[in-house]
Amino acid sequence: MISYKDLDEDVLNHVNRVVRDFRPLAFPRDFGFDGFDSQDVIRYFTDASQFGLSLRRDTGKGILYGCGHASLRRQFLNGLSAHWRCRIVLPKLQALDWCSVFARVDFSGDISELVDVRDIGMGNSVYWLKVIFKNGKMGEFVLKEKSIRSQVFYVDVLKVLGWRYFETAVVSLKSGDWELSQYVLGQNLNAYISSHVTIANWIVPLAQRAALGDMIGMGDRHVENYVCPGDDLVAVDVSYMFWPDNEDWTLRYISGGVYELNALSRFQLDAHLLETYLGEFWRSYELTLGRIYEHKDAILRMIAKHFPDAAMPSSFFEARINDPSAYLNQMKPRVMTAFWEALRRHRYKLALVQLVNDDPEMLVDHPWLKMYYLADRDRPSAFLHAESRMPELFPLIQERARTKSGFELGFFELAPQLEQLKRTLL
Ligand X SMILES: Nc1ncnc2c1ncn2[C@@H]1O[C@H](COP(=O)(O)OP(=O)(O)OP(=O)(O)O)[C@@H](O)[C@H]1O
Residues between 178 and 207 that touch ligand X (CB under 6 A): 181, 183-184, 188
Q: How far is the CB of 167 from ligand X (least distance, A)?
A: 9
Stretch that binds ligand X, among 8-16, 77-85, 118-126, 330-338 (CB under 6 A): 118-126
Contact 352, 359 (CB under 8 A): no
Q: How many CA atoms lie within 13 A of 339 on its CB side?
A: 27
Element (H, E) at 315: helix 312-321
119 binds Mg ion per the rule CB under 5 A: no
Residue 107 sits in the site that holds ligand X (CB under 6 A): no
- DSSP string of 66-117? -HHHHHHHHHHHHTS-HHHHHHHHHHHHHHHTHHHHHHTSTT---EEEEEEE
Q: Is 122 an interacting residue with respect to ligand X (CB under 6 A)?
A: yes
| Contact call for residues 151 and 162 (beta carbons, < 8 A) | no
89 binds, among Mg ion, ligand X, none (CB under 5 to 8 A by kind): none
Per CB under 5 A, the segment of 149-157, 177-185, 223-231, 329-337 that binds Mg ion is: 223-231
Please state the closest distance from residue 116 (CB atom) to ligand X, in A.
15
| Position 139 contacts ligand X (CB under 6 A) | no
Beta bridge partners of 140: 130
The least distance separating Mg ion from the CB of residue 238, rounded to whole angstroms, comes to: 10
Judge contact between 165 and 159, C-beta under 8 A: yes
- Residue 183 near which of ligand X, Mg ion, none (CB within 5-8 Å, type-dependent): ligand X
Residues 226, 229, 235, CA angle at the centre, nearest 5°? 25
Nearer to ligand X, 80 or 126 (CB): 126
Burial of 387 (0-12, 13-18, 19+ CB in 10 A): middle
Quick check: 89 and 117 in contact, CB under 8 A? yes
2 binds ligand X (CB under 6 A): no
| Sole binder of ligand X in the list 156, 232, 237, 260 (CB under 6 A) | 237
Nearer to ligand X, 142 or 210 (CB): 142
Residue from 119, 156, 224, 260 in contact with ligand X (CB under 6 A): 224
* Stretch touching ligand X by CB under 6 A, among 41-49, 220-228, 284-292, 395-403: 220-228
Report the phi/psi class of residue 210: left, alpha or beta, with left for phi > 0 and alpha for psi in -120 to 50: alpha
Least distance (Å) between residue 69 CB and ligand X = 11
Question: With contact defined as beta carbons under 8 Å apart, do 79 and 110 qualify?
Answer: no
Largest separation between any pair of C-alpha atoms in the chain = 69
Identify which of residues 237 and 376 has a Cβ nearer to Mg ion in the complex.
237
* Residues found in the chain: 426
225 binds Mg ion (CB under 5 A): yes
- Cβ closest to Mg ion, residue 19 vs residue 212: 212
Query: Least Å distance between CB 60 and ligand X?
Result: 15
C-beta closer to ligand X: residue 225 or 246: 225
Q: Is 181 helix (H, G, I), strand (E, B) or coil?
A: strand
Least CB distance to ligand X at residue 126 (A): 4
Residue 184 · residue 165 · CB < 8 Å: no
237 binds Mg ion (CB under 5 A): yes
Residues lying near ligand X in the complex (CB under 6 A) are found at: 120-124, 126, 142, 144, 166, 181, 183-184, 188, 224-225, 227, 236-237
Residues engaged in binding Mg ion (CB under 5 A): 225, 237
